[in-house]
């Protein structure tokens, strides 16, 4: 895990656990806003994919895990794709262009300890996700069999299930990284 977050050209020190926890709380609080807001736009009909994209954006900017950027190193151990083309003007203005990639992927590879941390975080996340997946299926069935239960929240079973699936997807993509950021101790104290 990295101790610094590079955001629009600025380096933010994230070595302290309190900061990392604040980031995790902030990310999930921000996620709640589009999930609720987009329901009022079109009941997630076509805007549902934005929630999934928001999760991927959070991974790219802050969390890492799936991308070479972010706090957690990529779980695959692969660095960014080498591109010799000029970044777009927007990325240059936002100072979000990728750094010139080196020839080897070593800076992005996890060592033995980090691999163990990654696996442990996925084990912990799996418990929650398995429970959510089972709940998802039970809610889908109850929604079909007892639609009048949904009348109180003015939601059809499909909408309910679709919304829960989106939340599950968002959790699947972010939970292991968030567990790592939440549980790892202060880096100064460790060193």
Partner 1 sequence: MKTELRVAGFTLSMGTRRRRRALVIVIYLFLSALLCAALLWAPWALGSVLWFLFLVGLINRVFFGGLTTRGLVGPFASDIRPLWFRDDPPPASRIDRWIWRRSPSRKDLQADEREDRLRDRVHYRSYRILTLLTYVVWGLFAIVRMGPFLGMGSLPFDFALMVAAAVAMLALTLPQAILLWTEPDMETEG
In the complex, the residues that contact partner 1 under the rule CB under 8 A are 45, 48, 75, 116, 118-120, 122-123, 125-126, 129-130, 133-134, 136-138, 140-142, 144-145, 158, 161-162, 165-166, 168-169, 172-173, 176
What whole-number distance in Å separates Cα of residue 144 and Cα of residue 5? 45
CB of 110 to partner 1, least distance (A): 11
CB of 144 to partner 1, least distance (A): 7
Identity of the residue, 102 or 130, whose beta carbon is nearer to partner 1 in the bound complex: 130
CB of 132 to partner 1, least distance (A): 9
Identity of the residue, 16 or 120, whose beta carbon is nearer to partner 1 in the bound complex: 120
CB of 140 to partner 1, least distance (A): 6
CB of 45 to partner 1, least distance (A): 7
3-state secondary structure of 72: strand
Identity of the residue, 95 or 146, whose beta carbon is nearer to partner 1 in the bound complex: 146
Distances (CA, A) of 3 to 63, 119, 123, 182: 12, 20, 23, 13
3-state secondary structure of 138: helix
Identity of the residue, 15 or 65, whose beta carbon is nearer to partner 1 in the bound complex: 65
Sign of torsion over alpha carbons 74, 75, 77, 83: negative
What whole-number distance in Å separates Cα of residue 47 and Cα of residue 185? 38
Identity of the residue, 67 or 173, whose beta carbon is nearer to partner 1 in the bound complex: 173
* Residue 104 main-chain phi, psi, to 5 deg: -115, 160
What whole-number distance in Å separates Cα of residue 115 and Cα of residue 111? 6
């Amino acid at each position: 895990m990295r101790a610094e977050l590079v955001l629009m050209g600025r380096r933010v020190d994230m070595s302290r656990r309190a900061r990392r926890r604040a980031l995790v709380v902030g990310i999930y609080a921000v996620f709640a806003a589009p999930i609720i807001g987009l329901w009022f736009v079109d009941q997630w009909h076509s805007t549902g994919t934005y929630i999934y994209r928001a999760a991927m954006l959070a991974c790219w900017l802050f969390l890492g895990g799936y991308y070479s950027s972010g706090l957690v190193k990529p779980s695959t151990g692969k660095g960014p794709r080498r591109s010799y083309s000029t970044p777009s003007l927007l990325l240059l203005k936002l100072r979000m262009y990728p750094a010139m990639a080196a020839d080897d992927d070593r800076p992005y590879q996890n060592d033995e300890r980090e691999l163990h941390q990654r696996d442990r975080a996925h084990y912990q996340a799996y418990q929650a996700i398995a429970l959510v997946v089972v709940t998802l299926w039970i809610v889908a069935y109850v929604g079909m069999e007892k639609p009048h239960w949904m009348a109180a929240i003015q939601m059809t079973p499909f909408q309910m299930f679709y919304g829960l699936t989106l939340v599950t997807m968002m959790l699947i993509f972010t939970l292991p990284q968030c567990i790592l950021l939440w549980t790892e101790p202060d880096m100064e104290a460790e060193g």
